[in-house]
Amino acid sequence: MMGKRIRKRGVGPFPCSYTSCGKVFSRSDHLRRHMSSHDPTKRLRCRVSTCTKSFTRNDARKVHEKTHIDTPPAIDLLHDLENSTFREETSATQIEAVGQDDDGDDDVPNPHHDIDFSVEKIFFKRRNFFSPDISPSEGNSPFGITSLMSPENQKGVPPKTNSNIGPYFQTSISGFSPDLMGAFEESIDFDFEIPDIFKGPLPFSQNSKDANEQQIDQILLSQMVQYIPDLQEDSNFTLKNMKLFLSNYWSAYHPQFPVLHKPSFSTPDAHPLLLLSMALIGSSLCQSAPAPGYWDLIDSDTIVELSDKIARPLRWLLLSCPEAAPPCKSWLIHSLLILEMYEINRSTRDLHERACIYSATKIQLLRRSPFLGDQNAKSSLENWIENESMRRVAWEAFYVDTIQAVVFNHPANLYANNLKLSLPCPDEFWETDSSDALDLSPSSLIQIPTISESLRKILQNEHVSTGYFGYKIILAGLLNLILQMEQTESQSLVLGLKLSEDNNWQELIASALEYWKLSAPKTSNLCSDKLCQYPEYHAAQTYLRIRQYDYYVYAGSPHRANVKINMKDYESAAKRISRWAQSLNGALTVVQAYILLFEMIVPLNSNSNQQVMVEYEPQKDPVIYRPMAVLATIFPLWCYVFNLYGPESSFKAPDTGLQLEDGFTPSVEDPGSYLRRIREEFGVRTGKPVNSLSSMGSEMVTSTLAEYAKALPEIPKINNIVGLLVLLARGYSKSSSQVAKRFGTLIKHCSDRSMGSNSVFCVELNLM
């Protein structure tokens, strides 16, 4: 076992350089702390209204404020909120690297390069502490984890029954501890103060800003053409279309990722490359955004050509512009994320692969971008907006990175324990055009939690106060935990460590996912969207229980990530699928798949008894990653029913000799009837209808889903799935994304297998 590294202390003495002081210190950190007392601009007032004391150190102020608790008046953290002076301290002790030993010399580098955007942020100041049982260096390690669930670490809060994961390994080594939550060992303190700029009316009004959000004139159009000259010859690159593309951005994309500050956004002040990025994603959403009457008059193929014409040079334009040099602004990273989401989800295969290759670029730009702007502009509204935008773009990057790791099996570049960052401010506060937002929920502004605190609460079935965007981030955090725990398991096998038989981290996260879904907002920011609000939740439940590689290979994919799949690979995957299908995990996965499909294809209409069936087409879906979430459930569903029950019919069996007309696929049940029948069977056989899940608690939901899983083998004709497969294959084949089209072809191959075809691999994919 390697010994703990000893940091050498700088050689003293260290005299104070302040005139007429004369004090001398033996340690450099003591001198730094002392020097802050000579700066009168960094005095921190006690926030109790009747107290006039001030302090040079934030921790000293906090200790003092606690003395007011036992005697009235109690601490009022919102004391004189609108009259307070915006103060921020950024002393040297506050911006020391996380994990720096008090005895450490300033020249000793920190070996852990965690992203820490919050050390210098305006609204929230935090100090990180480690438990007595763990060293600072261990605290930043993915394996240096010590239980936070023990009573001594809960500060008087009794432990909950579901919070104790138990020993994860039977064998342990130093620095390799078994607790799931060890990645979130820091204790977090929050301070929130409002900048002076918010005391009065804000210097912008929504009434005057509407036009500027999507206003494009010939000058802006010419500036864009200077970056991409080919656009000048494109007949779709017009003022009218560009306005509509930006309108699509604000109506369909911005509600999902509210990064830009809409009330203050002005197209004349925005960088042309940002406007091109917004137009890019807006053009790709033209079939799912409002104003269908206009888009019906436009050839969608020519719009796709325009989108690709913007996308191909855009990455190099963004990375080569002067603003890309670190530290870069939030708009540039946001533009890279927009481009990546377009390339991954809505473009050609070569652009999809390009996005995968250069995905880590945005992470490196984030690592090199300070989270605090000009310290001399503390009351500047522009400065506050940029800081909050950078926080939001960091969370956007975290969400995109994690979701793509789950639905596409891409490697993750960001982990939750690397982000020492609070959740975004409330959405209504961010979107408002008036200082009246301070009156909406002032307590929520001062209690904004970090991701680590939020995950602790969700894992213990405790509510987290945040908005729609914040809950999306928490869901990504839970998915990220799954990725981390899988990595831990893999590394333990490499180290020869034996896994504990009572390991239950998967059940703990599955339970947390159920609680998350019940506590999340019931409707998304996309008010017009009535389908499944949180498809990533179902994708997460699937990812917990089955390997993505296995179900794609079993479905007949001839290669994965350009690696050819041979028959031996298929047979190995088939064995694992067979074991999975006969287990409880297999049934639970299928139940989650059905629930997602219920919400997507046969949604319940509370205002009418009319039964509807949605002809799902990914190209018209405004939710960026929902098409991939549907794929993450339909393939495991087919694997389950085909493995256990075989094909639906024998129309394409080689020994029948039948010749079906092109485009004709006979099915026993249409998809709407099939899904409605399965939904009714769940309710009849358990006495708990599917539509009652939303009114249950998380524990009741978990037990009900288990009952559905046990009832699954009793439901007849569960393999009548051809109609459903044909519906989805047809929808995905219409997508402008070549990747989506390939998945549509693979779904069509599964339908052929369910009609008796004995062709294991989808040969058509080799031709695409």
Q: What is the pLDDT of residues 340-366, one digit of tens each?
A: 999 999 999 999 999 999 998 998 898
* Average pLDDT of span 550-564: 90
User: DSSP for 564-617?
Assistant: EP-HHHHHHHHHHHHHHHTSHHHHHHHHHHHHHHHHHHS---TT----------
In a domain, 676, yes or no: yes
Are the C-beta atoms of 678 and 689 separated by less than 8 Å? no
Q: Which of 132-136, 233-237, 503-507, 519-523 has the highest mean pLDDT?
A: 233-237
Question: Each residue of 701-743: pLDDT tens digit?
Answer: 999 999 999 999 999 999 999 999 999 999 999 998 999 999 9
Percent of the chain with pLDDT over 70: 70
pTM (predicted TM-score): 0.74
Which residue type does 630 have?
Answer: V
CA-CA distance, 375 to 380, in Å (whole number)? 10
Read off φ and ψ for residue 422, nearest 5 degrees: -75, 160
What pLDDT does 609 receive?
58
Give the pair of three-digit tokens for residue 91. Answer: 């002393």
Are the C-beta atoms of 282 and 289 separated by less than 8 Å? yes
CA-CA distance, 538 to 532, in Å (whole number)? 10
Confidence of residue 447 (pLDDT cuts 50, 70, 90): low
CA-CA distance, 54 to 56, in Å (whole number)? 7
Question: Each residue of 20-41: pLDDT tens digit?
Answer: 787 888 888 788 778 777 776 6
In a domain, 80, yes or no: no
More confident residue, 102 or 605: 605
What pLDDT does 212 receive?
72
In a domain, 172, yes or no: no
Query: How many residues can be counted in the chain?
Result: 768
CA-CA distance, 724 to 747, in Å (whole number)? 10
Angle between helices 567-581 and 584-601 (to 10 degrees): 90
CA–CA–CA angle 740, 743, 746 (5° rounding): 160
| Domain end among 346, 369, 392 | 369
What pLDDT does 347 receive?
92
CA-CA distance, 652 to 664, in Å (whole number)? 12
Question: Each residue of 226-247: pLDDT tens digit?
Answer: 999 999 988 889 998 999 899 9
More confident residue, 270 or 171: 270
Torsion from C-alpha of 530, 536, 538, 544, nearest 10 degrees: 180
In a domain, 436, yes or no: no
CA-CA distance, 222 to 231, in Å (whole number)? 10
What pLDDT does 475 receive?
95
pLDDT at 215 over 50: yes
Q: Which of 8-12, 303-307, 528-532, 588-592 has the lowest mean pLDDT?
A: 8-12
pLDDT at 616 over 70: yes
User: DSSP for 697-731?
Assistant: -HHHHHHHHHHHHHHGGGSTTTT--HHHHHHHHHH
Count the domains in the chain: 2
CA-CA distance, 156 to 366, in Å (whole number)? 37
Give the containing element (helix H, strand E) for 507: helix 505-519
CA-CA distance, 22 to 8, in Å (whole number)? 26
What pLDDT does 371 receive?
59
Give the pair of three-digit tokens for residue 440. Answer: 């909406």
pLDDT at 81 over 70: no
What pLDDT does 687 receive?
94
Angle between helices 626-645 and 535-545 (to 10 degrees): 40
| Domain end among 353, 369, 385 | 369
Counting Cα atoms < 13 Å in the Cβ hemisphere of 561 gives 9
Are the C-beta atoms of 424 and 392 separated by less than 8 Å? yes
pLDDT at 223 over 80: yes
Q: What domain range is 744 assigned to?
A: 529-767
In a domain, 303, yes or no: yes
**Among positive and negative, which fits the CA dihedral 568, 573, 574, 575?**
positive
Quick one: DSSP state of residue 3? P
In a domain, 734, yes or no: yes
CA-CA distance, 606 to 273, in Å (whole number)? 44
CA-CA distance, 258 to 467, in Å (whole number)? 11
Are the C-beta atoms of 108 and 88 separated by less than 8 Å? no
More confident residue, 381 or 467: 467
| Domain end among 369, 392, 415 | 369
Q: Which of 94-103, 199-208, 568-577 has the highest mean pLDDT?
A: 568-577
Tell me the sheet residues that pair with 25. 14
> What are the residues whose beta carbons fall under 8 Å from the beta carbon of 238, sequence distance 6 or more?
none
Q: Which of 212-226, 425-439, 720-734 has the highest mean pLDDT?
A: 720-734
In a domain, 583, yes or no: yes
Read off φ and ψ for residue 15, nearest 5 degrees: -80, 150
Give the pair of three-digit tokens for residue 408. Answer: 């596409």
What pLDDT does 663 receive?
67
In a domain, 183, yes or no: no
